[in-house]
Amino acid sequence: MSLRVLEFNDAGLRLSDDSGILLSSPGYALVLPKQIEFGESARSQSRINPLNSYNQFWHKLSLDPFSRPVAHYRHNADLAFSHLQDLAGAAELEGDVLLAVPGSFSREQMGILLGLIRQSPFRAVGLVDSGLAATVDLPHSDSLIHVDLQLHQVVLSKLQRNGSELRRDSVIVVPGTGWVNLSDSLVQLATNAFIQQCRFNPQHNAESEQMLLDGVPQWLQDEASVRSGSEDERRSIEIRLTHNSNVHLANLPRNALATRLQSYYQKILQQLQLLDPTETVPLVISDRMQALPGLHEVLTGQEAARTIQVLSENAVGAACLRYSDVLTSAPEAVRFVSQMRSEASSGKNTQTSTAAERPAPTHLLMQHQARSLAAGLFLCRGEQGLCLLQKNAASLPVIAELVHADGVYSLKPSAELQLNGRPVTATQTLQLGDVIRVKGQPEAIELIRVQDHDE
């Protein structure tokens, strides 16, 4: 069986192999007298059975006994072990597994985790900091900050680079800013809208409250997808709930979502400033955060000095497999890796080194006209079709933004874009020859290089 990677984040434990992510199981447990469920099945019943729902066993992984009985479970480590067994059964997980753990895990928690896995049907053969693995091959910078979202907190990990060596330097957790907190706040926002607009309180019924919670990820995706739509589309998001055969509709102003989450963003920003007082260190955020409305504007700072890159959902798993020979150790003596040397420029990582050798683009070619690449360049929808504008040049709907950092141009994710025929679901580095297309538009935008006379 091929080597697999298990990334520990209670927002979704991700199991992956060389084909990509195999499954994601959030850190929820539903403990009923005749039924025990974990992962997505337990999460989808968390509001229906709130007194029997648990979601802090990874966040507070320990051997401390519960204050009251929870079936046959003695402590959070017991619940975590059962979650691992459930995941292993669902994925038929056996053999060697590399573990990626967040910077929030203490040495004691890592020890407990390895102890649990020794009783599991699979073997841990490596242990690495997930923020380090996700960023080790990113373009060189003296330092960077990895930002990840868990169920109950955000984790900020500052990494320092010395030559080709990247090491985890310091970690700050921001409690009370996790997905549970954000989604609860948005559920209350929607509840208020339903009460005001159609005299219906979805939280008076467990099933409708669960439906409301389940819908939060889709609201955020919808909000992100309409940012570049018409003015009417961008004004509000429609939320639909069916209860007792009645359909209830409420409209949320689009900007209300970002406003509602500002207090959480400010907590993150305050802790971020401890790691980066100058607001200049590049940020690398996990895919779990890319759809949060208004977050990008808060994190970049007033002068937009920070650059932000969004990781793909399989960034950790893919990196662990690329560096499996470095990370793998004997199962009986697993070591924790918090420092790695990048092989991106050594030729060992063929895909990365080939891209690095390609000449950098200098211009965008659209409608037979070449436009020089520049930071803060926006692709907008004008009256006559697509156009390229500098920041604040006009108040037109923005489809895409080009970001420049460390000599590399990147394209931010957008539901309307395709890069080389594939959807742009995460920040993509632009390379010579890339072709950008916008859904519903005939124009193609090509990355070209205009040579100087002495080249």
DSSP H helical segments within 226-290, as ranges?
A: 231-235, 254-275
Q: How confident is the model at residue 40 (pLDDT cuts 50, 70, 90)?
A: very high
What pLDDT is recorded for position 305?
A: 67
| Domain extents in the chain | 4-138+313-341, 358-448
Per-residue model confidence as pLDDT tens digits over 333-382: 899 999 999 886 444 433 333 333 456 777 777 776 777 776 667 777 77
What pLDDT is recorded for position 445?
A: 82
Angle between helices 179-198 and 206-225 (to 10 degrees): 100
Q: Which residue has the tokens 């992984």?
A: 61
Per-residue model confidence as pLDDT tens digits over 109-148: 999 999 999 999 999 999 999 999 999 998 877 999 999 9
Q: How confident is the model at residue 307 (pLDDT cuts 50, 70, 90)?
A: confident
Percent of the chain with pLDDT over 90: 56
The type of residue at 89 is G
CA-nearest of 383, 403, 382 to 391 is 403
Predicted model pTM:
0.76
**pLDDT averaged over every residue in the chain:** 85
Structural tokens at position 129: 């900091």
CA-nearest of 353, 298, 292 to 322 is 353
What pLDDT is recorded for position 381?
A: 74
What mean pLDDT do residues 384-390 have? 73
DSSP assignment string, 192-228: HHHHHHHS--GGGSHHHHHHHHHHHHHHHHHHHHTTT
Is there a contact between 126 and 336 (Cβ–Cβ < 8 Å)? no
Per-residue model confidence as pLDDT tens digits over 283-302: 999 999 988 988 988 888 66
Percent of the chain with pLDDT over 70: 85
Q: How confident is the model at residue 388 (pLDDT cuts 50, 70, 90)?
A: confident
Q: Which residue has the tokens 């100087």?
A: 452
pLDDT(400) > 60: yes
Q: Which residue has the tokens 């499996």?
A: 324
3-state secondary structure of 25: strand
What pLDDT is recorded for position 375?
A: 60
Q: How far apart are CA 323 and CA 305, in angstroms?
A: 32
Instruction: Count CB neighbours of 395 within 10 A.
Output: 7
pLDDT(149) > 80: yes
Among 1.10.3720.10, 3.40.50.2300, 3.90.1150.10, 2.60.200.20, what is the CATH number of 358-448?
2.60.200.20
What pLDDT is recorded for position 455?
A: 46
More confident residue, 59 or 19: 59
Q: How far apart are CA 273 and CA 279, in angstroms?
A: 7
Structural tokens at position 365: 């070619």
Q: How far apart are CA 246 and CA 185, in angstroms?
A: 25
Per-residue model confidence as pLDDT tens digits over 68-118: 889 999 999 999 999 999 999 999 999 999 999 999 999 999 999 999 999
Structural tokens at position 220: 């955020």
What pLDDT is recorded for position 223?
A: 66
CA-nearest of 373, 413, 435, 422 to 227 is 413
**Domain 4-138+313-341, classified CATH 3.30.420.40, yes or no:** yes
